[in-house]
Amino acid sequence: MQWGQIKSITYERTDSYYDLTVPGAEHYLAEGIWHHNTGKTYGILRALHCIAADYPNLRILICRQTRASLTESVMVTYEAETLVEDAAQSIAYGASRRTRQSYNYPNGSTIVLGGLDKPDRILSTAWDIVYVNECVEVQEEAWDALWGRLNRPGRPSWLGYLIGDTNPGDPGHYLKKRADAGEIGRWQVDHKANPALWDGRDWTPAGKQYLDSLGRLRGTRRKRFLEGIWAAGEGQWFECFGDGNVTTEAEFHPNYHVHLAVDSGVHTGAVWFQVRGEGDATRITVFGDYYSYGVPAYDAARAIVSRSHELCRGRVDRSTTDPAGKAANAVGPTVLGEYARAGFKPESWPSFPGSVADGLGLINSFVAIDPPALTVHPRCTKLIEAFANYKRAKRAGQFIDRPEDPCHPHEDLLDALRGGLQDKFPEGRRPALNIQRVPRRSVI
User: For 181-193, how does the pLDDT look when each residue is reduced to its tens digit (9 = 90+)?
Assistant: 888 877 766 777 7
Q: What is the pLDDT of residues 338-393, one digit of tens each?
A: 888 888 764 455 566 667 888 899 999 999 888 899 999 999 999 998 998 888 88
Q: How confident is the model at residue 438 (pLDDT cuts 50, 70, 90)?
A: very low
Within a 10 A sphere around the Cβ of 392, how many other Cβ atoms? Answer: 18
The ranges assigned to domains in the chain are: 9-193, 244-424
Kindly report whether the peptide bond that precedes residue 371 is cis, defined as omega within 30 degrees of 0.
Answer: yes
Rounded to an integer, the average pLDDT of 208-234 is 77
Kindly report whether the peptide bond that precedes residue 409 is cis, defined as omega within 30 degrees of 0.
Answer: yes
Quick one: CATH architecture of 9-193?
A: 3-Layer(aba) Sandwich (3.40)
With contact defined as beta carbons under 8 Å apart, do 79 and 67 qualify? no
Q: Which residue has the higher pLDDT, 201 or 12?
A: 201
Instruction: Please report, in angstroms and rounded to a whole number, the separation of the first and last CA atoms in the chain.
Output: 76
Q: Hey, which residues does 112 pair with through a beta bridge?
A: 61, 102
The mean of the pLDDT values for the chain is 78
Q: What is the pLDDT of residues 260-274, one digit of tens each?
A: 999 988 889 999 999
* C-alpha pair distances (Å), 247 with each of 376, 377, 404: 6, 5, 28
DSSP element (H, E) containing 129:
strand 129-133
Q: What pTM value is reported for the model?
A: 0.52
DSSP element (H, E) containing 262:
strand 259-263
With contact defined as beta carbons under 8 Å apart, do 284 and 273 qualify? yes
Within a 10 A sphere around the Cβ of 307, how many other Cβ atoms? Answer: 17
Rounded to an integer, the average pLDDT of 316-322 is 87
Cα separation, 132 vs 44, in Å, equals 10
Stretch among 51-65, 136-150, 386-400 having the lowest mean pLDDT: 386-400
Rounded to an integer, the average pLDDT of 272-279 is 94
CATH number assigned to the domain with residue range 244-424, chosen from the 4 options 1.10.150.530, 3.30.420.280, 3.50.50.60, 3.40.720.10: 3.30.420.280
Burial zone of 255 (CB within 10 Å; 0-12 exposed, 13-18 middle, 19+ buried): exposed
The pLDDT value recorded for residue 25 is 36
With contact defined as beta carbons under 8 Å apart, do 83 and 92 qualify? yes
Q: How confident is the model at residue 219 (pLDDT cuts 50, 70, 90)?
A: low
Cα separation, 271 vs 291, in Å, equals 9
Q: How confident is the model at residue 97 (pLDDT cuts 50, 70, 90)?
A: confident
Percent of the chain with pLDDT over 70: 79
The pLDDT value recorded for residue 236 is 80
Same fold, 9-193 and 244-424: no
Q: Hey, which residues does 129 pair with through a beta bridge?
A: 60, 161
The pLDDT value recorded for residue 417 is 96
Instruction: Note the Cα 310 to chain centre separation in Å.
Output: 36
Cα separation, 37 vs 43, in Å, equals 11
Q: Which residue has the higher pLDDT, 412 or 66?
A: 412
Task: Answer whether residue 257 shows pLDDT above 90.
Answer: yes
The pLDDT value recorded for residue 350 is 59
Three-state SS at 83: helix
Cα separation, 131 vs 121, in Å, equals 16
The pLDDT value recorded for residue 353 is 61
Cα separation, 56 vs 162, in Å, equals 19
The pLDDT value recorded for residue 414 is 95
